[in-house]
A and B are shown apart, each in its own frame.
Chain A
């Protein structure tokens, strides 16, 4: 079989694929390359931890963090070299850590940290791509905790997290990834407790497109499950939230799926018994670059 290039004895160069990580600061433009497909994904926000409350006082589960935004473009490398020379500055956002478990009685949970934004190029130049990170889950108090917003700037906005609640089990299921091109479905909120304390299950992860149901939330006092990472420019599936507990520590939220998934919320806990569940970590962002020669 003859294929392109083999006639002359020199095989045609194959495309190369690179995944940049948060430690990377530049991308070296390969010599002789002509075109690059660049996908920029912001990092996920961390989930928040649940509250600790005395019996008779409601305690919210932690909220899940938002997912990162996504921007995709095909770029002519001749033009890129004109604007940048031999290398392009990049920033790859790191995932936001989840809120630490709460060990102090009658105290709110800790908020998750925002995921970092990712960018390709310099904002003052013509070729510039950006994707915001998702926000961290909000503080869990005696009312429902506030969700982490999805990354706002980019071709496609990130999926938002969900609030942790003080109500019935499985309130706080993650948002579904139902818009074309998002990087991940949302993660679940942590389980809380109403004033009449009772252990509850954490919220499920949001199902991604084509998935009938998401990752099941942690039962009472159980850790949520980490999301399903795609490790690629495909949809990842959100993590599930931790369960609340009257007898031991609340369950931690699952970690967000890579790339760009938000962390799940941690479960609430009862005073003098155990710590609340920590929020799950948001996943790192990434820049995927495929180059053709």
Chain B
């Protein structure tokens, strides 16, 4: 028996590993190889920015963005070739942009962008994998800083963002008892009616352990960027920014880790003394990881 490819020369060493990014539109099915393990991760949502308020009026921090969903499957390349020919259309979701900082007095913050959905194949054909992006964090208002909602439409949903608050921002939702791929971003710190600086919330924990992505601590401190796994391991969401009463801007939310982490929410700011609220952090891009086997 002569296996495909051997006749024409030396086959490549397998397995091979590929990571697709948002600019990729197709995956060329390799000539060699019999099956592939495909991981599809939706992108993280962006965090919202904080509100600006006059003293005596509450200003909530921006909500943290949520993480994207994930779908994992073994795929037969013979069957894939039957359905798609030589290449498979793919969509890799881009991380949702963080909400822009608010520089206008007595104005609510801006919502972040929703993380993009990632997909492998076409929904009209048999082999099709999908993973939704994480929801965006809402801009801070006088009463809320809505947290992003976990990405769905996949094997395993994402994790919610943390809410922006008038005090310390909420911690992003963790990933501890599921095969999810990223945690949520922390909420931004706000200002209660009697204005006082508050810290940002940490990015969501993984495995219930110690926080590795901290929210901003102290006036105007930005949240840390999330930890990127760069792989099919758990990334973390960005930390939320702290609020401020001082000149300058409030703390920005940290970026979500790659892949799929939610962005942190931005901190709130005072009308007369501060230039702007903190911007929300961008969500981490989605990804498609493909390992091809002999």
Q: Which residues of A contact B257 (CB under 8 A)?
A: 126
- Of the residues B179, B209, B235, B294, contact of A4 by C-beta under 8 Å: B294
With A126-B233, A155-B178 already in contact, the answer to whether A76 and B289 are too (CB < 8 A) is yes
Whether a CB of chain A sits under 8 angstroms from the CB of B128 is no
- Interface SS of chain B: loop
Q: How far is the CB of A72 from chain B (nearest CB, A)?
A: 8
The segment from B5-13, B20-28, B93-101, B246-254 that touches chain A is B5-13
Tell whether A234 is near chain B: CB-to-CB under 8 Å. Answer: no
Residue B229, interface by CB 8 Å: yes
Asked if B163 lies at the interface with its beta carbon under 8 angstroms from chain A, I say no
- Are A128 and B10 neighbours in the complex by a CB distance under 8 Å? no
Q: A12 near B: Cβ within 8 Å?
A: yes
Known: A34-B17, A75-B231, A127-B231. A154 touches B207 (CB 8 A): yes
Number of A-B contacts (CB under 8 A): 97
Shortest distance between the CB of B10 and any CB in chain A (Å): 6
> Which of A4, A73, A127, A292 is close to B230, meaning CB atoms less than 8 Å apart?
A127
Determine which of B16, B207, B231, B289 lies in contact with A153 in the assembled complex, contact meaning CB atoms within 8 Å. Answer: B207
Contacts of A153 in B (CB 8 A): 176-177, 207-209
Q: A74 and B37: CB pair below 8 A? A: yes
Q: Report the minimum CB–CB distance from A4 to chain B (whole Å).
A: 6
Q: Is the CB of A76 within 8 A of B17?
A: yes
Would you call B15 and A4 a contact (CB within 8 A)?
no
B229 touches A4 (CB 8 A): no
- Does A91 sit within 8 A of B, measured CB to CB? no
Least CB distance, A35 to chain B, in whole angstroms:
5
Given contacts A7-B6, A128-B206, A154-B207, contact A123 B13 (CB under 8 A): no
Contact B10–A7 (Cβ < 8 Å): yes
Q: Which of A4, A83, A125, A130 contacts B207 (CB 8 A)?
A: A130
Say whether A123 contacts B212, CB under 8 Å.
Answer: yes
Which size bracket describes the interface of A in this complex? 35 or more
The interface bits of chain A over 72-84 (1 if a CB of B lies within 8 angstroms of the residue's CB, else 0) are: 1111101110110
With A126-B229, A130-B207 as known contacts, state yes or no: A4 contacts B3, CB within 8 Å. yes
Which residues of A64-92 are within 8 A (CB) of B?
Answer: 69, 71-76, 78-80, 82-83
Q: Which residue of B lies closest to A123 (CB)?
A: B209
Which residues of B are found within 8 Å of A69, using beta-carbon distances?
177
Q: Are B231 and A126 in contact (CB under 8 A)?
A: yes
- Total number of B residues with any Cβ neighbor in A under 8 Å: 39
The reply to whether the CB of B194 lies closer than 8 angstroms to some CB of chain A is: no
Knowing A34-B15, A73-B232 touch, does A123 contact B210 (C-beta < 8 A)?
A: yes
| Contact A4 B228, beta carbon cutoff 8 Å | no
Q: A126–B289 contact, CB under 8 A?
A: no
Contact of B234 among A4, A76, A83, A128 (CB under 8 A): A128
Q: Which B residues are in CB contact (< 8 Å) with A74?
A: 37, 39, 232, 291
Question: What B residues does A83 contact at CB under 8 A?
Answer: 230
- The answer to whether B10 and A125 touch across the interface, beta carbons within 8 angstroms, is no
* Contact B2–A2 (Cβ < 8 Å): yes
Q: Which residue of B lies closest to A131 (CB)?
A: B207
Q: Which of A82, A125, A126, A157 has the most CB of B within 10 A?
A: A126
Pull 22 A–B residue pairs with CB atoms less than 8 Å apart, ordered by A. A2-B2, A3-B3, A3-B6, A4-B6, A34-B16, A35-B291, A71-B179, A73-B232, A74-B232, A74-B291, A75-B232, A79-B230, A83-B230, A124-B212, A126-B233, A127-B230, A127-B233, A128-B233, A129-B233, A130-B209, A154-B176, A154-B177
